[in-house]
Amino acid sequence: MLSLLISLLLSFLIGWVSQRMGMCLVKAIGLLLNRRPTLFVSLIACGLFGLLLAPFYSLFGISQPLFIPEVGYLSLVAGGLLFGLASVLNDGCSVGTLTKLASGNLTKVFTILGWVLGIVLWHHLNMLPEHKTLQMPTITSGHYWLTLGILLAALLFLIRVHGDKHLVLSSMLLGALTSALYTFEPLWTPSVFFYNLSQMFWMPGEGSLTGERMAVFGMLIVGMLSYTLHRRTFSYERFEWRAAVKHLLAGVLMGIGASMMLGGNDSQILLVFPTLTWVGVVPLGAIVVGILVGVAGRRLGLRVVSAGER
């Protein structure tokens, strides 16, 4: 019971901090293109900051559930690019979808429905890979300390240049909170929750969606909504079928892309990229490239339309 209460508290705090940061990789890359890289670097660094607590956890025999996907480079790259492009179409990544949902954009529910549908579709096409390789990094190795040191130096530089100190501090806090929650609930991330939700369609009664896990996911949303209400930024957006269909399509593509690389951008940032292996960098890099192409294409399209109206 105490374990569940701690998990719920951590999930609530993660939701609160994520909403405060405006945690969304699509938004971060948009700012990056506008020469404001602080949010992007902060998001990428979240999982690495979480590793700082690894020596503490090792004292209790606890390790982080980091893994390297064993699905081949073609699947990782294609899945990452598809996920990135679909995230731009959706105007939000996995966590970004939830933060916008908690802000009043209820059509984001169709993104979640589409995500589950995409995984189910990919499974019925017999294309869904199931293999993972657990990777237990040694935080005391010079490689990890050097990488974390470089990231910290880069973040300090960004603070000095742009003044977004709260983003860096929030990133460090979020890394600590997520790594702590992994010790109590290793499967808490949204993309893993969506995957397990989709399993109910081909493994009824055998899935891992327990009442505790649903409570943890629900508390994540409550944390996001609480911050929105606290800041009085909740703004209900009128339902439109056109937007709903767009989000449903984007969700299907995001679900397929996440299936191809064994996890959405949340799992890639928090569990795969922190292994600091080449295979761990590829899917996140592909997602970033996909979003960059999507955002650049969208901006170019808007310029062409604007020029045509003149």
Average pLDDT over all residues of the chain: 86
pLDDT bucket at 210, cuts 50 / 70 / 90: confident
Distance separating alpha carbons of residues 173 and 13, to the nearest angstrom: 10
Contact 28, 288 (CB under 8 A): no
pLDDT bucket at 252, cuts 50 / 70 / 90: very high
> Positive or negative, the Cα torsion across 245, 248, 252, 253?
positive
24 or 276: whose pLDDT is higher? 24
The pLDDT value recorded for residue 137 is 55
Query: If you average pLDDT over each of 41-45, 145-149, 248-252, which comes out highest?
Result: 248-252
How do residues 49-98 score in pLDDT, each as one tens digit? 877 777 777 777 777 778 888 888 999 999 999 999 999 999 999 999 99
Bridge-based pairing state of the strands 67-69 and 132-134: antiparallel
The pLDDT value recorded for residue 126 is 73
pTM summary value: 0.91
Helix (H) or strand (E) holding 165: helix 165-184
Looking at the chain, the whole-number percentage of residues with pLDDT higher than 70 is 88
pLDDT bucket at 101, cuts 50 / 70 / 90: very high
Looking at the chain, the whole-number percentage of residues with pLDDT higher than 90 is 46
Give backbone dihedrals phi and psi of 134, rounded to 5 degrees, phi first.
Answer: -70, 140
Is the pLDDT at 153 greater than 90? The verdict is no
The pLDDT value recorded for residue 148 is 73
Reference 25, options 242, 298, 285, 245; nearest CA is: 285
Is the pLDDT at 221 greater than 90? The verdict is yes
The pLDDT value recorded for residue 70 is 83
Q: What is the dihedral of CA 204, 210, 216, 219, to 10 degrees?
A: 70
